[in-house]
């Protein structure tokens, strides 16, 4: 295995790291400190929690309101302040209550990133309803599945989603009310604008408080559906504690990076973030929106991803933070028009949801002067479990970082019976206050996946002696060639390290005697070239011969991904038929 830190030419600064991981944890979580921990019983399991985390999303909303006239959301020519957002939340929450929405009822949300999205989300969750953010990329039948499976009582969606859902309305026996945003053709539904006006009107709504509701940390708040790259999506049932944990975990990772550098954790500062991940994904909602709301950050939305529009928004809004999935970072780096815009406000580019090329880590730092960051989590952990940023990321560019202080990781054998030693690859198990209750109405799947506070992730990983985690593959993506295990991310990282490669995926193709063999699908950077033999030789010079792709297919566009940024490997076999 190559030394990726050396490969990207990272030289640690003198005296780094200033503190060990154990010293950072001791300092940050000491009694009286911001990240002090407590131990509580969660479903019969003693669990470390952030002592200073909000108890529920009502508290999050009320803290956010204190940011007043600070811009909360920007979308095209619309600007919504925190006070305007809160007034809209309180108004819509009262309307939901008047429509008979009670604690525990499901309120679905289906729209792309719009100012209305966080209004609807908090309106539902602050009165104890369970919000069901549906994948806006889903087809009509898929959206209907989510609505039926969750037993949704009231749906808030945009016009495009309603056009897909309306033909299936007769199948949805639990669905009483549909409220549509930004649509004139709303037969069978009501208009959100008739309740709230447009986002430009939110600031003029009457000031009011949230309807009364008692909410405990372990009360249910959300159902996020798994990405469904294989099989039918499962609804991960999240709690208020799950979402509020992320607020502290993200801040903890920032403070940890500062201590490692020998600096004091920075005082909270309001930032501007270009949000390009869909809010129906836990990364954007739980790891993003929650912390943004408490900190008073500004969210800048785009109708759809476009690199040039992103450059324009970064320059116009003085964006400090962005990211999403590695493909977006690559496009920001390599687009020929990048030099035409002032991007100097960028401070950090973070991503998750998919493995990233180690070379991307170095380029972000060199080209933008921004600190790279990534982390690991999943729908079942409501996002953040680990974090890796700044010098630590440059030093371990193939790692997703160590777990936050309230979380634990372990590597288990295939049968789940024994824990494996440091450095060995096995299934990653995780536990902590971010792990969801289970799957909605799926008791058998819940029993298989959630075991005494631990979630079986399905990821193959290893831990080093300091606790840094390395995801080597999804268990189902591992290729077995004649009895030899090939972890796709290992080969993909080597391909990514080639200067011409910006997107790569390894898949297994059938072989009569070996069972399967590795093959790669590759997208090259604009203006760059590489041949199949060149890439095969590149891998052969760095990895064992049995790991070398037997075939390499080149595609003009970046590889197909689901809304969570995961490459749809099941769609790539066609290149080798």
Residues 321 and 430 in one domain: yes
Dihedral sign for Cα atoms in the order 34, 35, 40, 42: positive
Residue 208 lies in a domain: yes
Q: What is the pLDDT of residue 3?
A: 59
Decide: 425 and 487 in contact? Cβ < 8 Å: yes
Residues 409 and 516 in one domain: no
Alpha helices in 99-200 (DSSP H): 116-125, 140-150, 159-165, 193-196
* Domains identified in the chain, total number: 3
Residues 272 and 415 in one domain: yes
Residues 322 and 402 in one domain: yes
Q: What is the pLDDT of residue 468?
A: 97
Q: What is the distance between the alpha carbons of residues 381 and 428, in angstroms, rounded to a whole number?
A: 13
Residue 226 lies in a domain: no
Residues 165 and 264 in one domain: no
Residues 424 and 278 in one domain: yes
Last residue of a domain, one of 474, 489, 510: 474
Torsion of CA 431, 437, 442, 446, to 10 degrees: 20
Q: What is the pLDDT of residue 449?
A: 96
Residues 44 and 90 in one domain: no
Last residue of a domain, one of 474, 503, 527: 474
Residues 389 and 527 in one domain: no
Residues pairing with 301 in the sheet = 75, 275
Residue 439 lies in a domain: yes
Last residue of a domain, one of 474, 505, 526: 474
Q: What is the pLDDT of residue 354?
A: 55
Structural tokens at position 548: 């070398």
Residues 325 and 427 in one domain: yes
Residues 181 and 327 in one domain: no
Residues 340 and 466 in one domain: yes
Domain span at residue 572?
Answer: 478-576
Please state at what angle helix 82-98 crosses helix 57-65, rounded to 10 degrees. 140
CATH number, domain containing residue 303: 3.40.50.12780
CATH number, domain containing residue 518: 3.30.300.30
Residue 33 lies in a domain: yes
CATH number, domain containing residue 162: 3.40.50.980
Torsion of CA 335, 341, 342, 346, to 10 degrees: -30
Residue 504 lies in a domain: yes
Residue 223 lies in a domain: no
Decide: 311 and 340 in contact? Cβ < 8 Å: yes
Residues 140 and 175 in one domain: yes
Residue 500 lies in a domain: yes
Q: What is the distance between the alpha carbons of residues 455 and 436, in angstroms, rounded to a whole number?
A: 9
Q: What is the distance between the alpha carbons of residues 363 and 357, in angstroms, rounded to a whole number?
A: 10
pTM here is 0.87
Q: What is the pLDDT of residue 562?
A: 76
Provide the 8-state DSSP code for 457: E
Q: What is the distance between the alpha carbons of residues 555 and 536, in angstroms, rounded to a whole number?
A: 16
- Angle (CA) 245-251-255 rounded to 5° is 135
Residue 271 lies in a domain: yes
| CA nearest to 213, candidates 91, 59, 103, 85 | 103
Q: pLDDT 10s per residue in the chain (577 long)?
A: 445 556 656 788 899 999 999 999 999 999 999 999 999 999 999 999 999 999 999 999 999 999 999 999 999 999 999 999 999 999 999 999 999 999 999 999 999 999 999 999 999 999 999 999 998 988 898 899 999 999 999 999 999 999 999 999 999 999 999 999 999 877 889 999 999 999 999 999 999 999 999 999 999 999 999 865 445 789 999 999 999 999 999 999 999 999 999 999 999 899 999 999 899 999 999 999 999 999 999 999 999 889 999 999 999 999 999 987 777 788 888 888 999 999 999 999 887 655 566 678 788 888 888 888 889 999 999 989 999 998 999 899 889 999 999 999 999 998 999 999 999 999 999 999 999 999 999 999 999 999 999 999 999 899 999 999 998 877 778 788 876 778 788 899 889 989 999 899 999 998 876 778 999 999 998 889 999 999 999 999 988 788 999 999 999 988 988 766 778 888 898 899 8
Decide: 456 and 491 in contact? Cβ < 8 Å: no
């Amino acid at each position: 295995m190559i030394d990726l830190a050396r490969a990207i030419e990272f030289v640690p600064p003198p005296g780094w790291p200033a503190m060990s991981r154990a010293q950072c944890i001791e300092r940050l979580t000491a009694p009286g400190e911001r990240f002090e921990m407590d131990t509580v019983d969660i479903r019969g399991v003693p669990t470390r929690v952030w002592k200073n985390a909000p108890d529920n999303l009502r508290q999050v909303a009320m803290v956010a309101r204190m940011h007043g006239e600070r811009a909360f959301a920007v979308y095209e020519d619309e600007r919504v302040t925190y006070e305007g957002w809160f007034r809209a939340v309180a108004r819509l929450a009262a309307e939901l209550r008047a429509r008979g929405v009670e604690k525990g009822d499901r309120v679905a949300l289906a729209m792309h990133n719009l100012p209305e999205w966080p209004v609807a989300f908090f309106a539902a969750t602050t009165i104890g309803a369970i919000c069901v953010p549906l994948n806006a990329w889903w087809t009509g039948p898929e959206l209907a599945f989510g609505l039926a499976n969750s037993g949704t009582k009231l749906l808030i969606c945009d016009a495009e989603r309603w056009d897909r859902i309306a033909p299936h309305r007769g199948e949805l026996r639990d669905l009483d009310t549909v409220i549509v945003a930004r649509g004139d053709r709303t037969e069978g539904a009501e208009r959100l604008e008739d309740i709230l006006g447009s986002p430009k009107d939110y600031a003029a709504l009457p000031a009011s408080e949230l309807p009364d509701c008692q909410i405990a940390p372990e009360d249910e708040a959300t159902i996020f559906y798994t990405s469904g790259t294989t099989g039918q999506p499962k609804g991960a049932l999240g709690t208020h504690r799950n979402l509020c944990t992320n607020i502290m975990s993200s801040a903890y990772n920032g403070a940890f990076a500062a201590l490692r550098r020998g600096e004091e954790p920075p005082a909270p500062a309001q930032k501007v973030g270009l949000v390009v991940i869909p809010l129906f994904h836990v990364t954007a909602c739980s790891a993003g929106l929650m912390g943004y709301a408490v900190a008073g950050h500004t969210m800048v939305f785009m109708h759809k991803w476009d690199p040039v529009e992103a450059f324009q928004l970064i320059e116009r809004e003085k964006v400090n933070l962005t990211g999403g999935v590695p493909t977006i970072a690559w496009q920001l780096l390599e687009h020929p028009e990048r030099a035409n815009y002032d991007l100097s406000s960028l401070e950090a580019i973070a991503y998750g949801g998919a493995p990233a090329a180690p070379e991307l880590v170095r380029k972000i730092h060199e080209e933008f002067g921004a600190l790279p960051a990534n982390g690991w989590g999943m729908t079942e952990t409501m996002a953040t479990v680990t974090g890796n940023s700044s010098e630590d990321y440059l030093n371990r560019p193939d790692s997703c970082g160590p777990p936050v202080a309230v979380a634990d990781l372990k590597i288990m054998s295939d049968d789940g019976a024994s824990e494996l030693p440091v450095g060995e690859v096995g299934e990653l198990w995780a536990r902590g206050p971010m792990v969801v209750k289970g799957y909605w109405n799926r008791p058998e799947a819940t029993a298989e996946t959630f075991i005494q506070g631990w979630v079986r992730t399905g990821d193959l990983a290893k831990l080093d002696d300091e606790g840094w985690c390395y995801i080597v593959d999804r268990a189902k993506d591992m290729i077995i060639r004649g009895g030899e295990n090939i972890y796709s991310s290992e080969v993909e990282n080597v391909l990514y390290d080639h200067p011409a490669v910006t997107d790569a995926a390894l898949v297994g193709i059938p072989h009569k005697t070996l069972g399967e063999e590795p093959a790669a699908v590759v997208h090259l950077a604009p203006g760059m070239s590489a041949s199949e033999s060149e890439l095969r030789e590149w891998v052969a010079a760095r990895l064992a011969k049995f790991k070398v792709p037997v075939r390499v297919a080149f595609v003009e566009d970046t590889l197909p991904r689901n809304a969570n940024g995961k490459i749809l490997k099941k769609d790539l076999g066609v290149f080798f038929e």
